[in-house]
Amino acid sequence: MAHRLIRVWHLLDSEEVGKQLLIIGELSGECAKCRAVGLDYKQVKECPKCRTIFHYMASRRSAGGVVKRLTKLRPDLVPIELEDFRSGEAFDKSQGLFG
Ligand SMILES: [Zn+2]
């Protein structure tokens, strides 16, 4: 078997993603919904503060090796590209202001 990371693009509701997203930093995770920090991204299933059940994860560093390691560590979470989420967020906001 040759396991490689192959990106698949999905049309998702960025608001819904933001409500179930675990952002993974160098040492710990952050809840995208309530901004709670210091979460143990290796095993946290739900946010201890707002009780969000995580379904997606996004790494602050998206080098291939990091993402591959995370997909093995957390096969229960769907990996997304943080920049896709952020640019969508910015786009939604600009639409709200100027649309
Ligand atoms: Zn939270």
Q: What's the Cα-to-Cα distance from 39 to each of 17, 63, 69, 92, 98, rounded to whole Å?
A: 18, 21, 18, 27, 36
Instruction: Give the Å distance between the CA of 37 and the centre of ligand 1.
Output: 9
Please report whether residue 2 resides in a domain: no
Instruction: Give the Å distance between the CA of 2 and the centre of ligand 1.
Output: 36
Instruction: Give the Å distance between the CA of 54 and the centre of ligand 1.
Output: 9
Query: What's the mean pLDDT when you consider all of the chain?
Result: 89
Range of the domain at 29: 14-98
pLDDT digits (tens, 9 = 90+) for 49-63: 999 999 999 999 877
pTM of the shown model: 0.86
Residue count of the chain: 99
User: What is the C-alpha separation between 15 and 95, in angstroms, rounded?
Assistant: 14
Please report whether residue 5 resides in a domain: no
Domain count within the chain: 1
Please report whether residue 6 resides in a domain: no
Q: What's the Cα-to-Cα distance from 41 to each of 2, 75, 87, rounded to whole Å?
A: 26, 12, 23
Instruction: Give the Å distance between the CA of 73 and the centre of ligand 1.
Output: 21
